[in-house]
Amino acid sequence: MIVFAVVIGGACGAPARYLAERFIAARNRFSVPWGTVVVNISGSLLLGVLTGLDLNGHLGTGEMALLATGFCGAYTTFSAWSFESVSLLEAGQYRSAVVNIVGSLVLGLAAGSAGLAIGLVT
């Protein structure tokens, strides 16, 4: 049953990531891949909230499998972030690469921490 929850969550998270990333990318005039940045930061926030809720006993194993492992796992994308970062470096767009790398890490950690705090007080 847990594996089924992960599959269902992933089946929802992957298209959500694709649609969100495409929506943002279509409006992006800059070399920083903001679609991936926003997806990863929002996913970090959501995962933080879910973790806080889980630590407070508000979510069970099935819900965490569905939402945290399945949905967030498919929604966020470390591989695309890595690829886009390397592509920016190879293209000589060093400023955009640094913004993407450092900004994603710092903002992702901040979002995850904020989400955890939100989930813990709930």
Instruction: Please write the tens of the pLDDT for every residue from 40-53.
Output: 999 999 999 999 99
HSE-CB at 45 with a 13 A cutoff on CA atoms is: 9
Give the lowest-confidence range in 24-28, 60-64, 92-96, 111-115. Answer: 24-28
The model's pTM is 0.94
Q: Within 10 Å of residue 41's Cβ, how many Cβ atoms?
A: 20
What confidence tens digit (pLDDT) does each residue in 14-25 have? 999 999 999 998
Token pair listed for 81 = 């972030």
Type and span of the H or E element at 99: helix 94-121
Tokens 């390397």 correspond to 86
